[in-house]
Amino acid sequence: MTEDDHENAITKSMTEFKEGLRRHEHPLQVVREFITHGSCTVISQAQHALLRERVAAELSIHPNRDVYTVGSAKLGFSIKPSRRYGHFNDESDIDVAVVSAELYNRVWQEVRSFISSKEVWSNRRKDEFKRQHLVGRISPKTIPKGSSLLPSAEKLWELEIRLQRERIAGPYRVTFAIWHDMEALEGYQAKTVSDCQKMEMI
């Protein structure tokens, strides 16, 4: 994809997304049309399928039911308040949402064992972990690295490195978040979409 093709794809995606914001009454409808369904704007359909298949195989989950690209890679632009409608660029990551109660609970049990061990965990990362855990999300980057008590998180970090090294998603870094269930993922996305809808109505 040339740079012009890349920008044209993002512009088209943004136009359709904003139209969807106005067309749908409920933000969850927008989430299901544009975020948890369909292709990924910034990588090819073949790359997107390979990425999902590879993640699913590594984590023993289903590629179509449990693996989703989200964020600016999915749409071609961010909808987070701090970067709303800022385009995906060479510094951006491919954000992958893994929806698996089994994996989520396994990581959580490991974190509980880690807490009981009194090993070092920075307050900044610990506080971010708590905030995410409240909405049913766990990001490996909030968990301390290098502990034998956290093998599932270590596996995710190693997978991120391998996917980038093998350029499964082109030159972009892949990052993970584990969601307890689909309701948690969609609910989180719907809050941000709701803010976008309010802006479109002004």
Give per-residue pLDDT as tens, 150-201. Answer: 999 999 999 999 999 999 999 999 999 999 999 999 999 999 999 999 988 7
Mean pLDDT is lowest, of 6-10, 92-96, 102-106, 159-163, for: 6-10
60 pLDDT more than 80 = yes
> What is the longest distance spanned by two Cα atoms in the chain?
53
44 Cβ contact partners less than 8 Å away, ≥ 6 residues apart: 1
Do strands 93-99 and 137-138 pair parallel, antiparallel, or not at all (unpaired)? unpaired
> Rounded CA gap, 186 and 170, in Å?
27
Domain span holding position 38: 3-201
Q: What is the pLDDT of residue 202?
A: 64
Tokens of 95: 């954000």
27 Cβ contact partners less than 8 Å away, ≥ 6 residues apart: 190, 191, 193, 194, 197
User: What total of structural domains would you count in the chain?
Assistant: 1
Q: What is the pLDDT of residue 147?
A: 87
> Rounded CA gap, 44 and 169, in Å?
9
pLDDT band at 146 (very low <50, low <70, confident <90, very high): confident
Q: What is the pLDDT of residue 13?
A: 95
On whether the CB atoms of residues 164 and 120 are closer than 8 A, the answer is no
Tokens of 79: 């909808």
What angle, 0 to 180 degrees and rounded to 10, lies between the N-to-C axes of helices 182-201 and 3-23?
Answer: 90
| E strand map for 54-128 | 67-70, 93-99
1 pLDDT more than 70 = no
Q: What is the pLDDT of residue 156?
A: 92
pLDDT > 70: percent of the chain: 99
2 pLDDT more than 80 = no
Give per-residue pLDDT as tens, 38-54. Answer: 889 999 999 999 999 99
Give per-residue pLDDT as tens, 4-38. Answer: 777 889 999 999 999 999 999 999 999 999 999 98
69 pLDDT more than 90 = yes
Query: Closest Cα to residue 19, out of 197, 192, 191?
Result: 197
